[in-house]
Structure 1
């Protein structure tokens, strides 16, 4: 599940965002773990400097792995995070994968997770499905497309005993 991180107090149509209400909604939905990929400058830009504290205060387990703007995470850093996500899912936890717009970073991690867990799915199916679920911008950058296409090969290098 990917969510959009709107600035506090901003308005989308007739909807004004409230961090308190959003966190309460996630809590009521049974979310237990939040994997945040926003970096500090993105949180500041969205006027959500205290988001990580808000998650923690509300009782969510926060897994903070900032990814620099316009970058992808190295596969060697991604694989342990995917193992952590898998562990949460196997324990029956509901999780959130969060970046600023719910696209790009979080969709790339979600795609990598799917490729990591299901050895039979192809990168193309993963990307097409993410674009169907999140819209055409889910995997819009060439670097995210290449990352997912090469993920299994690169993950095998990380996971192979040396």
Structure 2
């Protein structure tokens, strides 16, 4: 019975998550779930391919290094240790790396989540440089994907 209830809860959460995507005319572009998914999804939104995730990670980490006063207080460990961790391929991105990406590229990041009560997270850049919005989806502490308007065909490098 407990397994059934857990599965039913997960189904209802997924249904709400998919509904949010549909209601906003969005579809997910699945990216590889290898610990780099946040950076892959950001790369897909910025460059049209998830394959430049290492470049995005490097730029985001450089943003974090260049402006510790903006991010240090939001990290739950020694800041230098955090920077070392985030520099490594496979380290999961978090809310701090999303803020650093928004600041670096000067764009709003909109995250559609599977959280029941917080379906949308809006991350605003410190200084806006563009009207572009980076759209991501986030499945409850596990995985990020890139999100695009339905019906728009984007070229993805193979």
TM-score (norm 1): 0.26
TM-score (norm 2): 0.26
